Amino acid sequence: MSDDDIEASKAPLMDHLIELRSRLIKALLGFGVAFIFCFFFAKQIYNILVWPFVWVAGPENSKFIYTALLEYFITQLKLALFGAGFISFPIVAAQIYAFVAPGLYKNERKAFLPYLIATPFFFVLGAMLVYFVVLPMLVRFS
Protein backbone atom coordinates (compact mmCIF):
# COMPACT_ATOMS: atom_id res chain seq x y z
CA MET A 1 0.00 0.00 0.00
CA SER A 2 1.44 3.34 -1.01
CA ASP A 3 1.35 6.61 0.90
CA ASP A 4 -1.34 7.91 -1.47
CA ASP A 5 -3.59 4.95 -0.61
CA ILE A 6 -3.10 5.59 3.07
CA GLU A 7 -3.87 9.30 2.70
CA ALA A 8 -7.00 8.52 0.64
CA SER A 9 -8.32 6.19 3.33
CA LYS A 10 -7.95 8.68 6.18
CA ALA A 11 -11.15 10.11 7.64
CA PRO A 12 -11.78 12.77 10.27
CA LEU A 13 -12.72 11.82 13.81
CA MET A 14 -16.40 12.68 13.35
CA ASP A 15 -16.68 10.28 10.39
CA HIS A 16 -15.22 7.51 12.55
CA LEU A 17 -17.63 8.29 15.38
CA ILE A 18 -20.62 8.33 13.01
CA GLU A 19 -19.52 4.99 11.56
CA LEU A 20 -19.07 3.55 15.07
CA ARG A 21 -22.52 4.76 16.10
CA SER A 22 -24.17 3.21 13.07
CA ARG A 23 -22.37 -0.11 13.65
CA LEU A 24 -23.39 -0.12 17.33
CA ILE A 25 -27.01 0.60 16.44
CA LYS A 26 -27.05 -2.27 13.94
CA ALA A 27 -25.50 -4.63 16.49
CA LEU A 28 -27.97 -3.58 19.20
CA LEU A 29 -30.91 -3.94 16.81
CA GLY A 30 -29.74 -7.46 15.98
CA PHE A 31 -29.43 -8.23 19.68
CA GLY A 32 -32.87 -6.71 20.39
CA VAL A 33 -34.60 -8.72 17.67
CA ALA A 34 -32.88 -11.89 18.91
CA PHE A 35 -33.94 -11.04 22.50
CA ILE A 36 -37.60 -10.66 21.53
CA PHE A 37 -37.44 -13.92 19.57
CA CYS A 38 -35.80 -15.77 22.47
CA PHE A 39 -38.17 -14.31 25.05
CA PHE A 40 -41.10 -15.57 22.98
CA PHE A 41 -39.58 -19.09 23.05
CA ALA A 42 -38.12 -18.94 26.59
CA LYS A 43 -40.13 -21.93 27.87
CA GLN A 44 -38.93 -24.11 24.98
CA ILE A 45 -35.34 -22.95 25.49
CA TYR A 46 -35.67 -23.78 29.20
CA ASN A 47 -36.91 -27.29 28.37
CA ILE A 48 -33.98 -27.82 26.00
CA LEU A 49 -31.47 -26.69 28.63
CA VAL A 50 -33.03 -28.84 31.34
CA TRP A 51 -33.09 -31.95 29.15
CA PRO A 52 -29.61 -33.28 30.23
CA PHE A 53 -30.72 -33.13 33.88
CA VAL A 54 -34.01 -34.89 33.14
CA TRP A 55 -32.13 -37.48 31.07
CA VAL A 56 -29.74 -38.28 33.94
CA ALA A 57 -32.04 -37.88 36.96
CA GLY A 58 -35.20 -39.25 35.36
CA PRO A 59 -38.51 -37.46 34.86
CA GLU A 60 -39.83 -38.49 38.27
CA ASN A 61 -36.87 -36.87 40.10
CA SER A 62 -36.73 -33.66 38.08
CA LYS A 63 -39.43 -31.41 39.45
CA PHE A 64 -38.35 -27.77 39.70
CA ILE A 65 -39.81 -25.19 42.04
CA TYR A 66 -39.57 -21.41 42.24
CA THR A 67 -38.97 -19.91 45.66
CA ALA A 68 -39.28 -16.21 44.82
CA LEU A 69 -42.23 -14.26 43.51
CA LEU A 70 -40.74 -13.22 40.15
CA GLU A 71 -38.17 -15.99 39.80
CA TYR A 72 -39.86 -17.61 36.80
CA PHE A 73 -40.02 -14.29 34.94
CA ILE A 74 -36.40 -13.43 35.80
CA THR A 75 -35.36 -16.88 34.58
CA GLN A 76 -37.13 -16.25 31.29
CA LEU A 77 -35.40 -12.87 30.97
CA LYS A 78 -31.99 -14.41 31.63
CA LEU A 79 -32.61 -17.19 29.12
CA ALA A 80 -33.70 -14.64 26.54
CA LEU A 81 -30.60 -12.50 27.18
CA PHE A 82 -28.17 -15.41 26.91
CA GLY A 83 -30.01 -16.79 23.89
CA ALA A 84 -29.93 -13.39 22.22
CA GLY A 85 -26.20 -13.15 22.84
CA PHE A 86 -25.74 -16.60 21.34
CA ILE A 87 -27.91 -15.94 18.29
CA SER A 88 -26.79 -12.36 17.60
CA PHE A 89 -23.07 -13.10 17.97
CA PRO A 90 -22.51 -13.39 14.18
CA ILE A 91 -24.21 -10.03 13.62
CA VAL A 92 -22.21 -8.30 16.36
CA ALA A 93 -18.93 -9.87 15.18
CA ALA A 94 -19.65 -8.84 11.57
CA GLN A 95 -20.31 -5.26 12.69
CA ILE A 96 -17.06 -5.18 14.67
CA TYR A 97 -15.15 -6.53 11.69
CA ALA A 98 -16.84 -4.08 9.30
CA PHE A 99 -15.75 -1.21 11.55
CA VAL A 100 -12.17 -2.43 11.94
CA ALA A 101 -11.57 -3.77 8.39
CA PRO A 102 -11.06 -0.42 6.61
CA GLY A 103 -8.11 0.27 8.92
CA LEU A 104 -6.36 -2.99 8.06
CA TYR A 105 -3.97 -3.66 5.20
CA LYS A 106 -5.04 -6.22 2.58
CA ASN A 107 -2.65 -8.86 3.93
CA GLU A 108 -4.02 -8.31 7.45
CA ARG A 109 -7.60 -8.77 6.18
CA LYS A 110 -6.57 -12.03 4.50
CA ALA A 111 -4.93 -13.22 7.71
CA PHE A 112 -8.11 -12.36 9.66
CA LEU A 113 -10.41 -14.42 7.39
CA PRO A 114 -9.66 -17.88 8.89
CA TYR A 115 -10.51 -16.53 12.34
CA LEU A 116 -13.85 -15.19 11.08
CA ILE A 117 -14.75 -18.64 9.78
CA ALA A 118 -13.34 -20.66 12.69
CA THR A 119 -14.78 -18.59 15.54
CA PRO A 120 -18.49 -19.43 15.09
CA PHE A 121 -17.64 -23.04 14.28
CA PHE A 122 -15.61 -23.56 17.45
CA PHE A 123 -18.13 -21.58 19.50
CA VAL A 124 -20.92 -23.99 18.49
CA LEU A 125 -18.59 -26.98 18.91
CA GLY A 126 -17.74 -25.89 22.46
CA ALA A 127 -21.40 -25.32 23.31
CA MET A 128 -22.25 -28.82 22.04
CA LEU A 129 -19.40 -30.32 24.07
CA VAL A 130 -20.67 -28.70 27.26
CA TYR A 131 -24.30 -29.60 26.56
CA PHE A 132 -23.83 -33.24 25.56
CA VAL A 133 -20.72 -34.29 27.53
CA VAL A 134 -19.87 -32.02 30.45
CA LEU A 135 -23.37 -31.22 31.72
CA PRO A 136 -24.54 -34.88 31.98
CA MET A 137 -21.28 -35.76 33.79
CA LEU A 138 -21.76 -32.81 36.17
CA VAL A 139 -25.34 -33.84 36.92
CA ARG A 140 -24.27 -37.43 37.64
CA PHE A 141 -21.50 -36.15 39.91
CA SER A 142 -23.79 -33.79 41.77
Q: Which long-range contacts (CB under 8 A, 24 or more apart) does 55-62 make?
A: 55/136, 56/136, 56/139, 56/140, 57/139
CB atoms within 10 A of CB 17: 10
Is-contact 84 40, C-beta < 8 A?
Answer: no
Q: Tell me how far apart the alpha carbons of residues 104 and 102 are, in angstroms, rounded to a whole number.
A: 6
Domain ranges, ordered by start, for the chain: 11-141
User: What are the tens digits of pLDDT across the range 39-90?
Assistant: 999 999 998 888 888 888 888 888 888 888 899 899 999 999 999 998 998 8
User: What are the tens digits of pLDDT across the range 111-120?
Assistant: 888 887 888 8
Question: Measured in whole angstroms, how far is the alpha carbon of residue 94 from the centre of its chain?
Answer: 12
Q: What is the pTM of this model?
A: 0.74
How far the first Cα of the chain sits from its last, in Å, is 59
Q: How confident is the model at residue 8 (pLDDT cuts 50, 70, 90)?
A: low
